[in-house]
Structure 1
């Protein structure tokens, strides 16, 4: 008898290969706007794109993801993990091909709409895959690997894309990356077929219809709010940290750009380390999220105070050491928070993983859109970095407070025996 999605008897492929595949599924869509950002000077010149037009491209990508996320989650529940991951990879690969052939601004817009559509379903499809194919004792680790792949893709985009553009041309780079999508489609095709019309799929459809128009369960609300506030703080810091290092610490443009790489590297290590620690643990982790939020508040405070404290000590080196300490604190907390939320969403609404994942995606992508815009408006309006950092620290503290209120009275899951067995 076929194993149930919640308790697979045997994984359909080695877990390392399966985790790598899911890493490609979740990273191929979001890597597209990061590649565009890294290649901005080249694309603006070669495709005659205005700087104001270029600035709207991130909004196009994340906006499409936000607009489509709820429908994508329901669609993934209907399709099953294999078919859903096939759709996501097809959209992401088509976006890369379109960019490789781009002749102007509207080609890029079309590609980013496809990229946003891929992002809208990447979390739901891979979370369904984790439930369908991965034994419970190893799910946290697989989630950690696939989420670290997102950060690795963004890091690689910043480090490799400009060099590749010089060596082989940016068009070739996009098309080569599209071949990664094609190869991944072949691997997905080898996964077991999704059941077409079974009790599981009929129950999933009934569950989705039953939730239409109803209030979200409080545990899911807690995750959505946490994801949204994490998105605000995380993406604003990602975007403006290099500029802060340049303006306040006197970094050169090239050195300032490495701050994003440093934050990304810390994020990869943090997600893998937390995944290893949480392997075998499933269920509510509200207290852990609160601790991570508190650490994020400290990390933001250290980042914000790095330049003033360096000036106070009359030592540029001291300011840089404080800045790097803030990057470390922020990376191990804010970057890990997204991992914990995704582990929790696997069980927060049993039988509706795609539907629940879509709301978390909606919250996080909305935060990604709002955070950089808010930081930029505050930076221009106040003429300095103090107010933007204070607002980000407040958002992290609000995340901590709201999480504590929403989690009050809800049971927290102790480490499962699966973790020990593993």
Structure 2
């Protein structure tokens, strides 16, 4: 069987602020579409004439597309050049935004969501590979925290800009403006990546060929058990994260009577807090805190946040709604930092892409389940309370996984 030869790792003269900014942008570009859809959910539901459940299906399709492509994308990230991966990431996002701007119609949004899934997936393996090869081990956790905060920076930008742009120029105008912005970011990013050899396309062909053959040594089947445990953590945290991210603006509008702009602001606030929390969790890992211990704190705080959400709806307490928004950003939005740092410690350089693809698959599978489940509950019950309770159940499972991780680490 042919063996895929990993591409030479980039030789970085200095891992500085420009490179870190590229990684942060790369993480934030892909989610622009789903955060934009979420931030304008009330407007789009009315314009498209669909139900909340049908709207949730859009994001589910996106994350199913991402989960299905995660394993092969992760393997490709081990052999594609960083330049090629950035073009794939940014270019796929631009294409999806342009397709979504055709109308908008429900079917064009479905197609856009299918297209952007693989573009989102490649960001994690790409940025992890750069950090592994460019950054000293003692600084990697801090870098992971900063680059993962790019996702929440994207949430902030989308929450603030998409509602305003959509009210002024419609969804199509907002999507076209976002696509133009992504192209500018691609141009800037390509000017600030480290020098490297071009992609070895024979290695790429080998990876694609091996995808349809029996598993070879070094594939996901032979990854350490820690990687699969982190994939489970990513799944359950992902369920709750996206159920909340997608429906938070709609919850603000329908249950608390806020305007579309304030609903977007709530999502943006969660993103701002999420940026800070991801940096904090990354620094805590860099200071020697164990992943299991941090996951205990994260899952406990996330449970409290869901209690605030449910209670705010039951007794119409806006203060608890905002407390839930902040706790969401402080806790579960930081899970990905712990997962990525732990995964990076569990494998060697030749399997960073495959391991990252595995945990990313778990995350996007959770992302796919959360929104469609929340949408179905909203349709059946006419409210959000039961949905927040079930998100809390997912976080309780996450707490159990954290306890198991702590005990396993202690025995080791």
Question: What TM-score bracket applies, with the shorter chain setting the length?
Answer: 0.7 to 0.9
Task: Count matched residues.
Answer: 391
**Residue segments in structure 1 that go unaligned for 5+ positions in a row:** 414-422
Please report the TM-score for the alignment, with normalisation by the length of structure 1.
0.79
Going from structure 1 to structure 2, the CA distance change for 1:171 and 1:26 (only over 3 Å counts) comes to closer
Going from structure 1 to structure 2, the CA distance change for 1:383 and 1:255 (only over 3 Å counts) comes to same
1:239·1:372 contact (CA, 8 Å) conserved in 2? yes
Choose 134-143 or 404-413, whichever is displaced more. 404-413
Going from structure 1 to structure 2, the CA distance change for 1:189 and 1:216 (only over 3 Å counts) comes to closer
1:30·1:116 contact (CA, 8 Å) conserved in 2? no
1:39·1:162 contact (CA, 8 Å) conserved in 2? yes
Residue 295 of structure 2: aligned partner: 289
2:79·2:200 contact (CA, 8 Å) conserved in 1? no
Residue 420 of structure 1: aligned partner: none
CA distance in structure 2 between the partners assigned to 1:185 and 1:163 by the alignment: 27
Going from structure 1 to structure 2, the CA distance change for 1:93 and 1:322 (only over 3 Å counts) comes to closer
Superposition map of 1:18-417 within 5 A: 18-38=19-39, 51=50, 56-99=57-100, 107-165=108-166, 166=168, 169-170=173-174, 172-184=176-188, 186-187=190-191, 191-193=195-197, 209-212=216-219, 214=221, 216-279=223-286, 281=288, 285-308=291-314, 311=315, 319-351=317-349, 352-410=351-409
- Cα displacement string for residues 265-303 of structure 1 (whole angstroms, at most 9, x for unaligned residues): 211221123333433659x51121122112211221222
**Residue segments in structure 2 that go unaligned for 5+ positions in a row:** 1-7
1:347·1:353 contact (CA, 8 Å) conserved in 2? no
1:80·1:125 contact (CA, 8 Å) conserved in 2? no
Query: Could you say which structure has the larger radius of gyration?
Result: 1
Going from structure 1 to structure 2, the CA distance change for 1:240 and 1:33 (only over 3 Å counts) comes to closer
Residue 417 of structure 1: aligned partner: none
- 1:370 Cα deviation after fit: 0.8
Q: CA RMSD in A?
A: 3.6
- Cα displacement string for residues 132-155 of structure 1 (whole angstroms, at most 9, x for unaligned residues): 112222222221222111111122
Going from structure 1 to structure 2, the CA distance change for 1:280 and 1:129 (only over 3 Å counts) comes to farther
Three-state SS of the structure 2 residue aligned to 1:21 is helix
Please report the TM-score for the alignment, with normalisation by the length of structure 2.
0.81
